[in-house]
Amino acid sequence: MTTLHGKTVMITGASSGIGEATARELASKGANIIIGARRLEKLEALASSLQEDGASVAVQKLDVTDLDQMRAIVRLAVDRFGKVDAIVNNAGLMPLSPLAALKIDEWNRMIDVNIRGVLHGIAAGLPIMKEQGFGHFINVASIGAYEVTPTAAVYCATKYAVRAISDGLRQEVTGQGIRVTLVSPGVTESELAETITDNEAKALMKEYRRTALPASAIARGIAYALEQPEHVDVNEMVIRPRI
């Protein structure tokens, strides 16, 4: 294991759930943390609580669908801490519905945040990591990246895409000191299901989400991947609640 002390990690979607838990976990292990999301007040409250415990934290409002904002937050990491060791592309939405409900705006939002958001993280981070000669992308997918469940066709499609992009990236950065880890959570406590507007999907999710992991369980998985020695590249992790 290598120490996270002094490593610089940027986390998207850090205002709640898995992103927030990841910020807490990595900060507690001595990493410099840069946290981004749209709800700035939540990020600031998180930063204050981490700083009280002695952590180095920078906050920036971030909409992952905006490439300029993504570039700015990665630049902030480098300006503030001199480098970016890892980017956790975690921000995501899950407004589930059957295709026949034709919630086209919700399909597009999932595509924009869950796929384009991850691509923007790669676009912003890859040139810097290549120049540094080191870096690590942690892309948060889902068990929905491996199988499609009712009302989740588009959500799963976005997560299959994150899995494909992550594997393609891993192949392309071979020999350049850059690692890629896909982290796929099963049901986890967070605000994720609150984006569901479709009644059928809401009812299904209520049943499905009865057994959930705390977000800290996923955060520990992310920390595990980051703590490995440089020659160890953890490619994929699926973390589900035991039932």
**Residues making contact with ligand NDP (CB under 6 A):** 12-19, 37-39, 42, 62-65, 90-94, 113, 140, 142, 185, 187-188, 190-192
Q: For residue 114, which of 74, 165, 150, 76 has the smallest C-alpha distance?
A: 165
Q: Which is nearer to ligand NDP, 55 or 113 (CB)?
A: 113
Extract the tokens encoding 22. 């990841």
The neighbour count for residue 207, using CB atoms within 10 Å, is: 7
> What angle is formed at CA 136 by the lines to CA 160 and CA 11, rounded to 5 degrees?
75
Q: Which residues lie closer than 8 Å to 221 by C-beta, 6 or more apart?
A: 183, 237, 239
Minimum gap (Å) between residue 241 Cβ and ligand NDP:
9
Q: Which is nearer to ligand NDP, 14 or 84 (CB)?
A: 14
Q: Which is nearer to ligand NDP, 104 or 133 (CB)?
A: 104
Q: Is 155 a catalytic residue?
A: yes
Minimum gap (Å) between residue 2 Cβ and ligand NDP:
25
Q: For residue 59, which of 26, 123, 10 has the smallest C-alpha distance?
A: 10
The arrangement of strands across the sheet holding 8-12 comes to: 57-61, 32-37, 8-12, 86-89, 135-140, 178-185, 236-239
Torsion sign across C-alpha atoms 138, 142, 148, 150: negative
Q: Which is nearer to ligand NDP, 28 or 65 (CB)?
A: 65
Minimum gap (Å) between residue 176 Cβ and ligand NDP:
26
Instruction: Give me the catalytic one of 155, 160, 208, 224.
Output: 155
Q: Which residues are catalytic?
A: 155
